[in-house]
Amino acid sequence: MDGQDTPTPAAAGQPPLPADRTAWTVRALLVGERIDTRGLGEPAGTISTPVILRPSTGGVAFVFRYGAVVLVGLDAAAERTLLDSLRGRTVGSEPAPTTEEVQIAVDRGGQEAIAASGVVVLRDVTMEHLQIIASVLSKSVVLAHHETAVAAALDRIEPFVFQLRDSGGVMTGGAALLRQIGHVLAALQRMSVRVEAEDKPDLLWDHPQLERFHARLADDYEILERSRALSRKLTLINDSVTSLLQVVNTRRAMRLEWAIILLIAFEILLSLYELFVRGAH
């Protein structure tokens, strides 16, 4: 955007964060359905990994194509500037972005661990460590968004299920159910194709020593369990809505059949009238 401090790609070999600090906040936001990262900067590896940006005011930002942005060490003003610069690249912007935060601390003589308080303790803050944290946190914030959306979808479907249970029918038009199917399919597509929540970061191919760190962090956020539970719920919703739609279509087909039967009966009665009543005269 004109007049704004546009972040620059991360420079190779440049320390990700100032060495005079030992604690930072990592903040993840789901700003939209998708972010166009083409031309934004050099990706941190393959096309499926994030673009890394370095605001001139300090800190580092990871921009994911599936709509998540992870910020490390940015103040409020720098955060607003960076998010504003991404607004034109964001598809399906979220009016109230889902957010998650985690604290990271440096203990150069200790062990890498996740403390009981949730603080991620590192011996040294490298760009690779930050990218692993950003990958897990970005997936967590997307899963949280979908968990909220699934709960809302279940609330919308519940009255239809109760109608079917209590009255044996569904008093609604097919268009409403089709919209529900569309929401579910869009969520499934977004999770399985764009987010790939259950896949490991491509970074681990080049840095296998970070495998255990990623596994601990992903386990702490229950990424695998949440992703599978969400997939089961989305499949259940899709099956339920499809079944309800079949009930609606069946009732419509029955009404159409009765209408055809009544028309045929009317034609028969009209023919009998012509044959016997008018024929007698």
Residues contacting 175, CB < 8 A, separation 6+: none
Task: Report the chain's terminal Cα–Cα distance, integer Å.
Answer: 90
Tokens of 251: 């009732």
Residues 209-233 pLDDT 10s: 889 999 999 999 999 898 888 888 8
Determine the pLDDT at residue 6: 52
pLDDT, tens only, 40-78: 865 555 445 689 998 888 889 999 988 999 999 888 899
Residue 119 above 70 pLDDT? yes
- The rounded distance, in Å, linking the Cα atoms of 26 and 39 is 25
Q: Can you give the pLDDT at residue 11?
A: 47
Average pLDDT on 259-268 reads: 85
Q: Are 21 and 65 in contact (CB under 8 A)?
A: no
b/e per residue, 96-128, with b = 16+ CB within 10 A?
A: ebbebebebbbeeeeebebeeeeebebeebebb
Residue 3 has pLDDT above 60, yes or no: no
